[in-house]
Amino acid sequence: MAATLFRKVWDLHSVRTLPNGQTQLYIGLHLVHEVTSPQAFADLRARGWRVRAPERTFATVDHIVPTLAQRRPFLDLVAEEMTAALERNCREHRIPLFGLDSGSQGIVHVIGPELGLTQPGMTIACGDSHTSTHGAFGALAFGIGTSQVRDVLASQCVAMSPLRVRRVDVRGRLAPGVYAKDVILTIIGRLGVKGGAGFAYEYGGEVVDRMSMDERMTLCNMSIEGGARAGYVNPDATTIDSLRGRPYAPSRDEFDEAARWWRTMASDPGAPYDDVVTIDGTAIAPTVTWGINPGQSVPVDGRVPDPMAATGAERDGVAEALAFMSFDPDQPIAGTRIDVAFIGSCTNARLSDLREAARIVSGHRVARHVRALVVPGSQAVCTAAEREGLDEIFRQAGFEWRAAGCSMCLAMNSDRLDGREICASSSNRNFKGRQGSPTGRTLLMSPAMVAAAAVAGEVVDVRAWLPAAPAGVERRL
Ligand code: SF4
C-alpha cells in the first residue's frame, strides 16, 4: 500500500504502543547541547542510570557560548559552568563532543547535517525546538524537552503520539531575490502559527525540488513556527549528493546501498495525506515580519495590517503586536528604520546564506547608525567562508565577523539588543524579548534582505539590490 515517508519511518522505529496510546519510538540520532542537557544528565546520575546508546549520541556547545572572547574559562560564569558540565557528562558517558577546539563545533542543527550524522529515514531528537531542520534530509526530527532528553539518554526512546501529514506543495519557480525564508514565512503567514498543530509537514513541489539542501533546511527549520511537530522533504538526488563524502555518512563501499534504501523511504506516488495545501511560488515576494510571531508577516512592498480590518480575537492580537512594534495601522513595512542587523542562527547561517548576503553588501558600507554582525552557523562554515574571502567582504562593509554559535537568535550570551532597538534578523523567532531585551523588536527576513537593510539603514526590497548575474547563469544557492 502506498505510504508517506512519515508513516514508513514512524513504523520502522515504533517499539510498541504504550497503555496511554502513545508510541514508544526508537531514536536513531540524539543531538545534545549545553543548555537543555545538564538537568537530564543529573537525573540520570541520581537514578544510577547510564546512557543507553552513546554511539548514537553527539554533543556540541552552541546556545550560550560567546562569539567574541572564547578563551576558557569564559567570563560569563553560567556559560562556563554549562560548558564544563557538558564536557564532564560527555567524558563520563563516552559521548563524542564537538567542542570549541574540535574544528567541528557549531549550532547543533548546522553541524549534524554538515558531519553527515543526519541521514534519510532516521528518527532524530534534540532538546531544541528547531530540530525539525533535519527533516530536510528525509528524517523525522523532533524537538524535545529536558525530561525527554533524559528519557532518550536512558532508553534511546521517546513516547510520542503519531502525527497527521499535511503535504505542502510549492508550485512554480521563485523569482530572483526570493528565498526559502520567504517561502516558509509565506506558508506560516497563510496557515497560521498554530495551523500545523498535530501535523508533520511534507514539503514538495517544483520550488522545493529545485532547492539546495541549505534552502530545504531553512524551510524545515521553521516548521515548528507554524505549529507543526516536524517537517520534511523526501530524499532525492540532491539529498544523496549532499551526503556523499561527509565524515559520518556511509563509507564509499556502503554508500550506494544506503542511497538505494534512502530512496525507498520517500513517500510513494498516491500516498494518502490528511491534508494538501498548494502555494504559488511565483507569487511569493521577499517577506518581512511586522509583529511578535512569525505568522505576522507581509511582502516587503506591503503594509502592516489595520486592526479595524480584523475580526474578534485576531483584532486584539494585531493591535497588541502593532503597539509593541510601534507601527501605525496600514503603515508600509519598507522604510522601517533598523538599529541592528543580525545574520546568523540555525535558520540562515550556512555558507550559501553568507555568500548571498556578501553578494549584496559587497562594495557597500553598513549605514552609520546600524550595528551589524555575521555569526556563522559552525566553525566549518566560518572556515569555508574565510577561505572564500567572505569575512573580508563583510568586515570591509562594516559588519562584525564573529565565531560560531546561536548568538542573537536567543541572546543567551552577550550578543543582545539594547532597549527598544529594532533588529533585521535572519533568525526564526520574533517573540517579545527573544533577542535579549524585553522591549527589543525583531523583523524576520532572509539573510539577503538583512544585508540590504544593514546597508540602507532601513527595510528595503532586496530585489532592487541584486547584482546582475552573468548571462546564462542561473541563481542557485
Ligand atoms: S540558533 Fe536559535 S533556534 Fe537555532 S538552535 Fe540556536 S537558539 Fe535554537
Question: What are the tens digits of pLDDT across the range 302-344?
Answer: 999 999 999 888 999 999 999 999 999 999 999 999 999 999 9
Note the pTM of the prediction, 2 decimals. Answer: 0.97
Q: Is the pLDDT of residue 476 over 80?
A: no
Pocket-testing residue among 64, 67, 109, ligand 1, by greatest number of atoms within 8 A of Cβ? 109
Q: Is the pLDDT of residue 246 over 90?
A: yes
Q: Residue 410 C-alpha to ligand 1 middle, in angstroms?
A: 7
Characterize the bridge pairing of strands 23-26 and 157-160: antiparallel
pLDDT in tens, 250-278: 999 999 999 999 999 999 999 999 999 99
| Residue written as grid cell 525527554 | 148
Pocket-testing residue among 64, 114, 217, 406, ligand 1, by greatest number of atoms within 8 A of Cβ? 406
Q: Is 428 in the pocket of ligand 1 (CB under 6 A)?
A: yes
CB 151 within 8 A of CB 158: yes
Q: Is the pLDDT of residue 208 over 80?
A: yes
Mean pLDDT of 54-71: 96
Q: What is the set of domains in the chain, with CATH numbers?
A: 5-264 (3.30.499.10), 287-464 (3.30.499.10)
pLDDT of residue 474: 43
Ligand 1: residue whose CA is nearest its atom 6:
406
Atom of ligand 1 nearest to the CA of 109: 5
Q: For the ranges 318-332, 358-372, 461-475, which has the lowest average pLDDT?
A: 461-475
Q: Residue 463 C-alpha to ligand 1 middle, in angstroms?
A: 28
Q: Residue 346 C-alpha to ligand 1 middle, in angstroms?
A: 6
Mean pLDDT of 174-196: 98
Characterize the bridge pairing of strands 275-280 and 230-233: unpaired
Q: Is the pLDDT of residue 477 over 70?
A: no
pLDDT in tens, 65-114: 999 988 999 999 999 999 999 999 999 999 999 999 999 999 999 999 99
Q: Residue 108 C-alpha to ligand 1 middle, in angstroms?
A: 8
pLDDT band with cut points at 50, 70 and 90 for residue 468: confident
pLDDT of residue 428: 98
pLDDT of residue 471: 52
Q: Is the pLDDT of residue 18 over 50?
A: yes
pLDDT of residue 472: 47
Closest to 128 (Cα-Cα) out of 235, 31, 266, 238: 31
Bridge-partner residues for 26, per DSSP?
157
Mean pLDDT of 180-209: 98
Closest to 97 (Cα-Cα) out of 144, 61, 67: 61
Atom of ligand 1 nearest to the CA of 409: 2
Closest to 207 (Cα-Cα) out of 178, 176, 171, 175: 171
Mean pLDDT of 371-391: 98
Atom of ligand 1 nearest to the CA of 429: 3
